[in-house]
Every structure is written in C-alpha cells, then in structure tokens.
C-alpha cells in the first residue's frame, strides 16, 4: 500500500465516521458527508429528566446495539465486506464515545469495562485500529487520530475523576505513541498505518481536539509547537462571519484548505473543539442558536451558507447541545436537547425504544445514539 492508498483509506474511514449514521434513504455519500436521521414516527413525549433519558438510552445500547466486541455500527447486520464499516462491525469511534460518556456519568465500573474491551479489540503497536470486523476477524491497520485522541482524553479524565493512577499512566503511554506516529515536524495527521508505517497527507480540521492535545505527555517545547500549528490551521479554516462554519481539511503539500460541501457535523465538531478551549468565534454560536431555535440546522450547506439538503439529525443537535454546554449557554443546550429528542423512539413496544433510530427500517446507528448519550452526559458533567 502506498501513500495514495492510505489517503484513500482515510477518506473511506471518515465517510463511515460521519456518514454511517444515515437513517433515511439518500444518494451514496461522498467522503465526509454528514450524519442524518428521521424524527420518530411516534409523538414526542415530554422528557422524564436527564437521568431517565440516560438510563433508557443506555438500556437500548446495551441490550440491542451491543455485541461481544462493542457497539455495532448499525443494528441491521451485513456481511461486513464493504469498503466502509457496516452492520455489526465495531469502530474505535464508538469505544471512545462510550468511554467518555462513562467518565462524564461518573460510572467507574462501566468505564473500566469499556476500556478493557477497547484495548482487547483495537490496541495495536501504533495506537488503536479504527475498525474491527467480527465476521472476518479483521483488525484494520490504520488508526483515526480523532478517536485515539478521544480515548486518550477519556483516560486522562478518568484518572482525575476516579483518582486512578493507572489510567493516568496509560494515558501518558498512549499519548506518546500518538505523538510519535500521528505527529510529524509539529503537525498532526489524520491516520497512521501500523503496517506500512505511513501517514496520509492532510489533516481533517474536526480531528484537531485542542483540549486533549494540550494534555499530551510530551515535552513543553513539542507541545507548544504542536498547539501553535494546529490552532492556526483550525482557526484559519473559518469561512466568514456571514456563514461562520469551517473548511473540512488542510493539505500539507499544497498549503490549501478544501471541502466537498460544508458538512454540518464536521463544522460543529470543529466549533466544539474550539469552544472547549475558549477560542470559539461568537458568530458561530450566534448562527447555531438561530438555526436550532428555528429547527433548521441541516446536514450540509453550500459555501455561501445555503442549505444543500433538508436533512436534520440526532447527531447534529447533540453536537449543538455540547457546544451550548461548553460555552455555558444553558438556553442553547436546552433547545438543542429538545430538538434532539424529536428523534427519540418513545413507543415502549418498539425494539428501538429509548434509542434513536428509524422504526420503519429498523436501522439504528452507533454515531447518532452515542452522540446523544454524550450530549446528555455533558449536562451531567456541568451540574
């Protein structure tokens, strides 16, 4: 496999991470298409409270969406032979979100179980495989920087929350691996191929989690250079005050940004990463508030801010809620959770009860459900 093949793989991988959550028919997605879903067919019931919402969602995930290797990419099984993860394949994305949710919910037992499983399924010499196929017993050789960082961040946080020195030491160990493999000359790359020992040639902006990068167990000088470089890249991808979203990726060879449409999930992740370190642009928050209030935060936009589709999703409103929580904006958090809950399955007779999915097709995707779980958990952390 050469560099071109590695780059192709990361495009396919990112398509799964951000597009694999589609719960309604649509054209085959290109790389980095945003997640989508359909509101529940049943009338939306008033929420019983945060704790009840979390409990019901955990119950759905544990009983319906989880197998012996972790959370399924989709509740509906496939032969697991596609270029992208499908069916009961397992993503390190899901493991990292489950770990972080357990920390935010102060559940030491769940965190220990999720971390032990993540190591067993995904650990490789260069970090964590992004994908495992139980049907084919195949661990893919490339990582996803965004998910490795989330696992590392969850370990650091667990070390503090649970007063566990072993988690802190493991976080330091894996952060050094991450720096050695996914960072070159002070710049971070999307993937590291554990077999060919190679990286791709660009960085996807929403992978740049500054709050975790600043905690990496590396020298102060190296950390300072990395944070300076990656902060410049993510902030340099800002589009405009009239449409305050962000570019998709930055190519290191050409020094140019590029985007295959402006996908909302990607931009919201970038805005969340900036907000968590206090570097958000106020115009971005203004735009999100307005769109959430109107119920018009859609999955993709043109570069001048016109909706490219009318798809709304669980994950999009979950991310808006996280941004509200990180910004200390209680109204944005509450409004976003209310919009997100429009997609909850509230029929007790449905196998999808308590989760987020399409009752007509039986599809339920890991990304939607785990982002919703994390959105609820952000509130738990801040209260």
What confidence tens digit (pLDDT) does each residue in 158-174 have? 999 999 999 999 999 99
Give the pLDDT score at 26.
24
CA 210/CA 46 separation, integer angstroms: 36
Q: Which two tokens stand for residue 315?
A: 């994950």
Q: What backbone torsions phi and psi does residue 181 show, to the nearest 5 degrees?
A: -105, -40
The answer to whether residue 141 sits within a structural domain is yes
Angle at alpha carbon of residue 38, lines to 37 and 40, rounded to 5°: 130
Q: What is the mean pLDDT of the chain?
A: 89
Q: What backbone torsions phi and psi does residue 287 show, to the nearest 5 degrees?
A: -60, -45
pLDDT at 287 over 90: yes
**Residue 256: beta bridge partners?**
251
* Helix, strand, coil percentages in the chain from 3-state DSSP, rounded to 5: 50, 10, 40
CB 262 within 8 A of CB 226: no
Mean pLDDT computed over 107-120? 98
The answer to whether residue 230 sits within a structural domain is no
Least Cα distance to 310 among 326, 295, 324, 299 occurs for 299
Give the pLDDT score at 47.
52
Domain of 192, in residue numbers: 46-200
What are the CA-CA distances from residue 51 to residues 61, 195, 278, 376 (Å)? 15, 44, 28, 9
The answer to whether residue 14 sits within a structural domain is no
pLDDT at 325 over 60: yes
The answer to whether residue 94 sits within a structural domain is yes
The answer to whether residue 245 sits within a structural domain is no
CA 57/CA 61 separation, integer angstroms: 6
Least Cα distance to 370 among 100, 144, 176, 145 occurs for 100
The answer to whether residue 317 sits within a structural domain is no
- Ranges 80-89, 250-259, 373-382: which has the least confidence: 373-382
CA 255/CA 26 separation, integer angstroms: 33
Give the pLDDT score at 102.
97
Mean pLDDT computed over 111-128? 97
The answer to whether residue 162 sits within a structural domain is yes
CB 354 within 8 A of CB 345: yes
The answer to whether residue 347 sits within a structural domain is no
Contacts of 107 (CB under 8 A, 6+ apart): none
CATH of the domain at 119: 1.50.10.10
Q: How many residues does the structure list for the chain?
A: 383
CA 209/CA 17 separation, integer angstroms: 16
Per the structure, the count of domains in the chain is 1
């Amino acid at each position: 496999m050469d560099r071109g093949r590695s780059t192709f793989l990361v495009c396919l991988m990112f398509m799964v991470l951000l597009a694999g959550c589609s719960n309604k028919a649509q054209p085959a997605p290109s790389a980095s298409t945003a997640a989508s879903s359909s509101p529940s067919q049943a009338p939306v019931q008033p929420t019983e409270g945060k704790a009840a919402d979390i409990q019901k969602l955990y119950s759905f995930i544990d009983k319906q969406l989880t197998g012996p290797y972790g959370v399924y990419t989709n509740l509906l099984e496939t032969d697991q032979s596609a270029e992208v993860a499908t069916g009961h394949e397992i993503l390190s994305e899901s493991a990292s979100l489950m770990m972080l949710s357990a920390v935010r919910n102060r559940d030491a037992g769940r965190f220990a179980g999720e971390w032990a499983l993540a190591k067993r399924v995904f650990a490789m010499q260069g970090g964590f495989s992004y994908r495992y196929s139980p049907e084919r017993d195949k661990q893919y050789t490339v990582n996803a920087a965004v998910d490795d960082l989330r696992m590392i961040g969850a370990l650091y946080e667990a070390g503090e929350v649970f007063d566990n020195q072993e988690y802190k030491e493991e976080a330091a160990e894996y952060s050094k691996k991450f720096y050695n493999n996914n960072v070159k000359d002070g710049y971070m790359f999307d993937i590291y191929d554990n077999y060919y020992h190679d990286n791709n040639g660009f960085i996807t902006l929403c992978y740049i989690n500054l709050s975790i990068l600043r905690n990496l167990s590396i020298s102060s000088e190296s950390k300072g250079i990395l944070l300076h470089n990656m902060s410049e890249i993510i902030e340099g991808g800002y589009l405009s005050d009239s449409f305050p979203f962000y570019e998709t990726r930055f190519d290191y060879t050409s020094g140019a940004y590029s985007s295959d449409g402006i996908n909302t999930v990607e931009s919201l992740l970038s805005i969340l990463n900036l907000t968590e370190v206090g570097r958000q642009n106020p115009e971005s928050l203004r735009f999100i508030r307005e769109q959430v209030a109107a119920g018009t935060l859609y999955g993709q936009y043109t570069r001048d801010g016109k909706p490219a589709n009318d798809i709304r999703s669980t994950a999009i409103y979950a991310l808006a809620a996280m941004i509200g929580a990180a910004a200390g904006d209680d109204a944005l958090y509450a409004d976003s959770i209310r919009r997100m809950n429009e997609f909850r399955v509230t029929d007790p007779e449905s196998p999808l009860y308590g989760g987020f999915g399409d009752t007509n097709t039986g599809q339920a995707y890991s990304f939607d459900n785990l982002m919703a779980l994390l959105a609820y958990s952000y509130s738990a952390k801040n209260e």
